[in-house]
């Protein structure tokens, strides 16, 4: 569509809306581990790193799509490999100065994934410099390659109190919510086109409302 009709304000609107869906409605997250170029030693002979050093994991808001697992049978028996696709909002990565690279790792639930592909999903209204998201394809990694403490919710069958996420707090473009700093930016509000919402980030939690039904949304 022509740039006469699709201006930076429309681009900001689309980015703000996709952020709202991911951060304030969906609430899925991955924990991203990038390889530290400064701390990892590269072999001068093979130009490879026998031991990789990773930066502190980053919590990324996203949309997750589990793929059909693949099975391979050898002399040791069947082996299941889980694949996954993750959609991350492009402008959010720019706001947080995060560059996702092939070969890095992330966790979702109890599974560790190695990133095998990072691609732009599509341009916004045909404008090549703007995209609506980044698609990350991950393949289940062997623990011998990368192992870390599991972060975030896992499965309700576990007795660990963190296995089930019982609190979800919206971000809504505020610098902080009850969980701490968000790093969330909504462009139209930052540029003064829109004002801050009257109410702050709502939440689904044990606080619930006066009727104790488990969500602050029911108190509206």
6-53 tens-digit pLDDT: 999 999 999 999 999 999 999 999 999 998 766 666 656 555 655 677
Pairing label, strands 105-108, 70-74: unpaired
- Do 44 and 147 fall into the same domain? yes
Residues 198 and 101 in one domain: no
Buried b (16+ CB within 10 A) or exposed e, 191-219: eeeeeeeeeebbbbeeebeeeeeebbeee
Asked whether residue 74 is assigned to any structural domain, the reply reads: no
Asked whether residue 47 is assigned to any structural domain, the reply reads yes
> Does residue 73 form part of some domain?
no
The answer as to whether 107 is a domain residue is yes
Residues 15 and 53 reside in one and the same domain: yes
Same domain, residue pair 216 and 112:
no
Token pair of 141, please?
A: 């990694």
Number of structural domains, the chain?
Answer: 2
* Percent above pLDDT 90 for the chain: 54
Residues 38 and 144 in one domain: yes
- Asked if residue 207 belongs to a domain, the reply is yes
145 lies in the same domain as 198: no
**Which range of residues forms the domain containing residue 15?**
1-68+79-163
Identify whether residues 142 and 174 lie together within a single domain: no
Q: Are residues 99 and 16 in the same domain?
A: yes
Same domain, 184 and 159: no
159 and 179 both lie in a single domain: no
Give me the pLDDT at residue 42, please: 65
Range 126-131 average pLDDT: 92
Instruction: Please check whether residues 94 and 112 belong to one and the same domain.
Output: yes
Same domain, 140 and 174: no
pLDDT tens by residue, 139-182: 998 776 777 788 889 888 888 888 988 889 999 999 999 999 99
Domain assignment of residue 17, yes or no: yes
């Amino acid at each position: 569509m022509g740039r006469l009709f699709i201006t930076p304000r429309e681009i900001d609107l689309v980015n703000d809306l996709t952020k709202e869906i991911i951060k304030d409605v969906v609430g899925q997250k991955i924990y991203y581990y990038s390889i530290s170029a400064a701390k990892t030693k590269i072999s001068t002979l093979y130009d490879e790193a026998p031991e990789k050093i990773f930066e502190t994991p980053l919590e990324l808001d996203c949309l997750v799509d589990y793929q059909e697992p693949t099975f391979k049978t050898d002399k040791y028996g069947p082996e299941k490999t889980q694949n996954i696709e993750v959609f991350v909002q492009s402008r959010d990565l720019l706001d947080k100065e995060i560059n996702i690279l092939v070969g890095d790792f992330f966790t979702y639930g109890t599974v560790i994934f190695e990133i095998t592909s990072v691609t732009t999903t599509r341009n916004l209204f045909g404008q090549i410099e703007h995209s609506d998201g980044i698609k990350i394809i991950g393949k289940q990694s062997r623990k011998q390659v990368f192992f870390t403490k599991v972060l975030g919710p896992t499965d309700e069958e576990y007795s660990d109190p963190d296995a089930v996420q019982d609190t979800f707090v919206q971000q809504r473009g505020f610098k902080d919510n009850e969980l701490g700093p968000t790093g969330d930016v909504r462009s139209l509000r930052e540029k003064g086109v829109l004002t801050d919402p009257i109410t702050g980030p709502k939440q689904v939690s044990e606080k619930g409302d006066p009727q104790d039904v488990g969500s602050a949304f029911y108190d509206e």
